[in-house]
């Protein structure tokens, strides 16, 4: 398969403006994400989709291509689709992977796991990832939870602490916001526009579930740390320092 990896990176983050360029261990946050993506064995091409020339320059310096996209796109996946259209590749990609630009620790092996899942299930339209949820994060709306069926397919995603767990022992999974889309479904997804549940939860993956698409989910113990705020960036800095000291 020909696989395009896209890192959406906009400048105007509500909680952390200019986040992709924030310095982590002396380099832009985006550069660490590019480093991890380049570890993947299966990506055919890697681009950063951005609305800002400064981010584009940082992407190229980090070793990725850059594609300029409109600033008003409603989601990272819409930005990934815009990048796909802008590339105009004469040989179509089979899969487009939307990589999170604020996950500096997610390894390339995690990307490859999502692609393996998509290859193994011809009926799946999207593949994504999850990790065990730290119980302390269960109440946080910033930690998105996912519930699966017996076959590892997503039943629902929520910012609420699902499943409820009446016995107090419910095992919960934290969603990792990486999406491997079959290209043909990505085109449908962006044409659908935001769905009611997507608007209610602020979670774009619910658009696919409401459309009846099968989403397969790989579970692992990957080191995830989403950088949404300056405080998160400080946590990431401490993690890198701890690794360097080992």
CA distance 175 to 93: 26
- Decide which of 245 and 130 is more confident: 130
The whole-number pLDDT of residue 153 equals 97
Residue 65 pairs in a beta bridge with 47
> Tokens in use for 114?
């999502």
**Per-residue pLDDT tens digits for 44-88:** 999 999 999 999 999 999 999 999 999 888 888 999 999 999 998
Structure confidence at residue 148 (pLDDT): 96
Dump pLDDT digits (tens) for 127-146: 999 999 998 898 999 899 99
Q: pTM for this one?
A: 0.93
Pairing of strands 3-9, 95-98: parallel
Q: How far apart are CA 200 and CA 15, in angstroms?
A: 19
User: Going from the N-terminus, what domains does the chain have, and what CATH number goes with each?
Assistant: 3-245 (3.90.550.10)
Which residues, at least 6 apart from 110, have a Cβ–Cβ distance to it below 8 Å? 129, 176, 178, 218, 220, 222
């Amino acid at each position: 398969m020909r696989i395009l990896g896209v890192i959406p990176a906009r400048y105007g983050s509500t909680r952390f403006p200019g986040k992709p360029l924030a310095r982590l261990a002396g380099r832009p946050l985006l550069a660490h994400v590019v480093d991890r993506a380049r570890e993947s064995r299966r990506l055919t091409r890697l681009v950063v989709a951005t609305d800002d020339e400064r981010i584009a320059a940082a992407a190229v310096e980090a070793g990725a291509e850059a594609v300029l996209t409109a600033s008003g796109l409603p989601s990272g996946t819409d930005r990934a689709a815009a990048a796909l259209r802008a590339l105009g590749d004469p040989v179509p990609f089979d899969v487009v992977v939307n990589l999170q630009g604020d996950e500096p620790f997610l390894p390339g092996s995690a990307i490859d796991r999502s692609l393996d899942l998509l290859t193994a299930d011809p009926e799946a339209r999207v593949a994504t990832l999850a990790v065990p949820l730290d119980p302390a994060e269960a109440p946080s709306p910033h930690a998105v939870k996912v519930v699966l069926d017996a076959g590892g397919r997503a039943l629902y995603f929520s910012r609420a602490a699902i499943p409820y767990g009446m016995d107090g022992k419910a095992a919960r999974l934290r969603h990792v916001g990486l999406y491997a889309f079959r290209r043909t479904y990505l085109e449908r997804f962006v044409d659908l526009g935001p769905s009611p549940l997507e608007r209610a939860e602020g979670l774009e993956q619910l658009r696919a579930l409401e459309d009846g698409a099968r989403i397969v989910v790989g579970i692992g113990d990957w080191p995830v740390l989403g950088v949404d705020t300056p405080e998160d960036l400080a946590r990431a800095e401490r993690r890198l320092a701890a690794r360097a000291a080992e």
